[in-house]
Amino acid sequence: MFKYLEPIIEFTFKLVAGLIFLLLLAIIYAMMSEGIPAIRAIGLWNFLSGTKWQPSNQVFGIFPMIISSLGVTLGAILLGVPTGLLVAIFINEILPRRFRIYLISLVNLMAAIPSVVYGFWGVAVIVPQVAKIQLPGNSMLAAILVVSLMIVPTMVSMSLSGLRSVSSDEKAASLALGEGRMLTVWRVCLPRIRSTLQAAVILAFGRAIGEATAVVLVAGNAVQIPTSLFDSVRTLTANTVMEMGYATGLHRQALMATGMTLFLFIILVNLLLSWFMREKRGAKS
């Protein structure tokens, strides 16, 4: 019986993997089939470098939204990635075992909270606090703070999995040589989980740059090139979410081209990060 069951299971795995690949191709085709005609009609340079987005006048420039997306994403990465890593180290190395399950459950709960709830929390808590510093409150800074909190659970979970994979013998050897617990984490654990941290950063980057709902609620949604953290901004994802429901014709195609641009940008960043990590490992070896 098991002799006949194994080929069926193997075929099922191949079928599911093939369907996922076909789904990715379908997504790419859907974006390119409408995005490329828009870029041809608008002009690639005008589309990427234009500073005005006025669908009523058939003017479509996404440069302010590119800058805003990069600002929110990089700010969230700078805050969320170190925070998530430090929380993971605290859970694995400092927190008593009997309390770990409770904090891990809390982190998992944070990962399950819908993004709109984070947005409501940002509107109720973060935006008023930012407004006390400088109006209007709905700003790039508010978006950075909300999105950084949203990527912390991803960073904590993956970092914690990596730290747990380091053998206790390696850590014991470091401690036996007189190294402190935190120095052991720095010199022994973190180098061992470099590839895990790389994957965590890539996932966090994708989550941050792809977030839309929470950003729409707290960023202010003004199409302008930000000159400070307190300026209202509109990201690429927020622009698509806000206007896709009623867009038609060239306007709809321009929104699809916006999504295609974001998709290609994420792929480029992933490739650059992978290349950077390979070069770094090659230099050390």
pLDDT tens digits, one per residue of 90-104: 888 888 888 888 888
Tokens 């984070």 -> residue:
118
Higher pLDDT, 73 or 165: 73
Please report the pLDDT score of residue 143 as a whole number. 94
Q: Give the model's confidence band at 263: pLDDT under 50 very low, under 70 low, under 90 confident, else very high.
A: confident
Domain assignment present for 82:
yes
pLDDT exceeds cutoff 80 at 130: yes
Say if 118 falls within a structural domain. yes
Going by pLDDT thresholds of 50, 70 and 90, the confidence category of residue 6 is confident
Beta bridge partners of 53: 60
Q: Given pLDDT bands bounded at 50, 70 and 90, which one contains residue 201?
A: confident
Residue 44, in any domain of the structure: no
Judge whether 228 lies within some domain: yes
pLDDT in the model for residue 83: 92
Instruction: Give 122's contacts (C-beta < 8 A, 6+ positions apart).
Output: 142, 143, 145, 146, 214, 217, 218
Rounded (10°) angle between helices 63-89 and 236-243: 120
Instruction: Count other Cβ atoms within 10 Å, centred on residue 213.
Output: 16
Angle of helix 236-243 relative to helix 194-210, nearest 10 degrees, comes to 40
47 lies in some domain = no
pLDDT at residue 1 tops 60: no
Instruction: Let me know if residue 1 belongs to a domain.
Output: no
Q: Is the pLDDT of residue 59 over 80?
A: yes
Q: How many CB atoms lie within 10 A of CB 102?
A: 9
CA angle, corner 189, sides to 185 and 191, nearest 5?
A: 115
Q: Which residue has the higher pLDDT, 170 or 252?
A: 252
Tokens 């966090």 correspond to what residue? Answer: 204
CATH of the domain at 68: 1.10.3720.10
Domain hosting 67: range is 53-284
Residue 268 covered by a domain? yes
Count of domains observed in the chain: 1
What b/e readout covers 119-139, taking b as 16+ CB neighbours within 10 angstroms? Answer: bebbbeebbeebeeeeeebbb
pLDDT at 279: 64
Let me know if 169 is exposed, middle or buried by CB neighbors in 10 A (0-12, 13-18, 19+): exposed
**Quick check: is 48 in a domain?**
no
Mean pLDDT of the chain: 86
**Across 129-143, 182-196, 208-222, least confident range:** 182-196
Reported pTM: 0.85
- Whether the per-residue pLDDT at 3 is higher than 70: the answer is no
